[in-house]
Structure 1
Amino acid sequence: MFDRLNVFSTAQAMAMHAGTRHAVLARNMAHADTPGFRPADLAPFRETVSRQAPAARLRGTRPGHFTMAASTVPTPQLREEILSDPNGNGVSLELEMLKAVEAKRQHDRAMTIYRSALEIMRQSIGRR
């Protein structure tokens, strides 16, 4: 029943995107000393969703209001970055750590959205 609500499917997609991005960034950091390694990153969640918008069958129930189909979980796309050290490695640990913090914030935001929607549902049925 709850898997068909757009707010839950969107929060799930955001959390999955953040988790995938964490894995990509951890891989980048692990290869910080590998000669010739090129770091990768995911496209932002907003771009991922907008790229799949036709597949998500957006429909407006009123002007300016769009929803995402519950069965659609956006698939993240890798983006290769072009940076270079003398050994051909493009990993900047400082930049990767900043990106990891951003991914953590995105995951926290998704969990907050999920918890808030769940609390609203509990309030509406009279449970706390």
Structure 2
Amino acid sequence: MRIGELAARTDTSPRLLRYYEEQGLIVPDRAANGYREYDDRLVDRVMQIRGLLDAGLPTRIIRQILPCLDQPRAIHFSDATPEMISTLEHELDRMTARIRCLTRNRDAISGYLAAVRGR
């Protein structure tokens, strides 16, 4: 697919997709005419990148943990600096707290809808 289609499917601007490419977060193929060609699997990858960015992780750390999202996994422990480990531990705690909050909110909305529909 072309960059415009990937942009539409991920609700991400083409400019941001090119930035992800510059940062080594996604790697498109090149057609004979030089145009970028994006594999369907990059839709999920872009969504994962956006989620990690929304969680506050910088692209340099996202680049290091992307192998954890792949199967088979190719994790390079030599890349793990104390700063990176500390940042990831902090972000993991933030995500866990956010998940708990979202779960409570989802349950409250579900309960409200059940009560409203039950009338």
TM-score (norm 1): 0.32
Structure with higher helix content: 2
Structure of greater relative contact order (alpha carbons < 8 Å, 6+ residues apart): 1
